Structure 1
């Protein structure tokens, strides 16, 4: 059981805020202002001492979050030491949530020298990042499952309903053709990188990871990767940056 001396970890996404404290996890909508917090989190915020946060949202959401626990020390993961993760470009040009996910891979021992890792975070957007050891070589971003559908709903009269379980097979209906194209697109990207990088390990995380992981051979499904990364940043990076 966790206690209030542990840091509260928060991942502020485009649609939801996910939080973790020890073995407790939860989420709430981040698109609604003011933010409506679950009772359990309100109770935690009354006594919490430290919050470690990563965010893809604009400053107004972060500012509102900070008012929820004004006596806590807030630590925002937005810079990352090159002694731990490297790249051939300015790291600030890449979303901090992606770097935190990479730190999660470091924390889990997936980025040892000579390794090749593909990290897939399937949320509102799908981010795909490639690592050789602890060196980021680039990535892709495409619409997430919901956005993939909503973009067609806005531009057509299809009247689509999102299937709960998309597959990699050819679709036998319009709905499944759209759904399965999303899965197949991600799988094709992974297959391309596997052909170019023998021995590539694939990690899948994010809200729609359970829809993708079954269709990617030997994929590791790690739902708490972002929290592994936030914990690592708090322990090993906070004092450096």
Structure 2
């Protein structure tokens, strides 16, 4: 069983089934759990509940010169040899892979973060943006203006860095953004595909066949 420990949920994958659990509702599982984590507090909770947990972080072999690349980004990049990977959650990470090598990437605020940021600028901007705006028309009200600004900022940056490469979307808002790009794929199992490669490296290292 694989577990991706994020900042909001525990994401699990086992035999083709995928689900998530809130930290307060985390239940005990049977068998070994192979995990990655970006949240030390939640990681401790998993280790308290389960005696047989193995951190896959040391078994990733991504070729990259990026300093401080998060384990979640490493995992999704391991799954793709060629293309642009966009993980659209509370933050949006964009990473470029070429010939199995990670060329680099950058980070943008996610939709929810943009909305929160606007609300802090002025009470007049504390409204829900219209995310169905047409890009060929200038906004005519505050909701449209906010939605236009959010989407143009994110989509424009992705288009600029993609340079015609295939784009792979994952994360909570990944499906929404994928519809703006013709040559794109939405794959919510991408991180687990990367974890599978690390798991295979673990098996080779310890001579285990499970």
TM-score range, shorter chain: 0.7 to 0.9
Equivalent pair of 2:60/2:75 in contact (CA under 8 Å): no
Residue segments in structure 2 that go unaligned for 5+ positions in a row = none
Deviations, residues 118-147 of structure 1 (Å, cap 9, x unaligned): 100001110000111111111010111111
Report what 1:62 is aligned to.
Answer: 43
Are residue 99 (structure 1) and residue 67 (structure 2) matched? no
Aligned residue among 103, 109, 112 for 1:137: 103
CA RMSD of aligned residues (A): 2.3
User: What TM-score, normalized to structure 1?
Assistant: 0.75
What is the CA-CA distance between 1:23 and the residue it aligns to?
2.5
User: What TM-score, normalized to structure 2?
Assistant: 0.85
Structure 1 pair 173–75 and aligned structure 2 pair: CA distance change class (3 A): farther
Aligned residue among 7, 18, 21 for 2:14: 21
Equivalent pair of 2:76/2:190 in contact (CA under 8 Å): yes
CA–CA separation in structure 2 for the residues paired with 1:52 and 1:181? 40
Are residue 53 (structure 1) and residue 71 (structure 2) matched? no
SS of equivalent to 1:215: coil
Aligned residue among 158, 161, 174 for 2:128: 161
Deviations, residues 163-218 of structure 1 (Å, cap 9, x unaligned): 5x5456254432333233333222212222244xxx51111111111110000221
Equivalent pair of 1:117/1:131 in contact (CA under 8 Å): yes
Report what 2:149 is aligned to.
Answer: 181
Residue segments in structure 1 that go unaligned for 5+ positions in a row = 1-7, 106-110
CA–CA separation in structure 2 for the residues paired with 1:26 and 1:167? 32
Equivalent pair of 1:79/1:96 in contact (CA under 8 Å): no
Equivalent pair of 1:168/1:183 in contact (CA under 8 Å): no
Instruction: State which drifts further: 174-183 or 205-214.
Output: 174-183
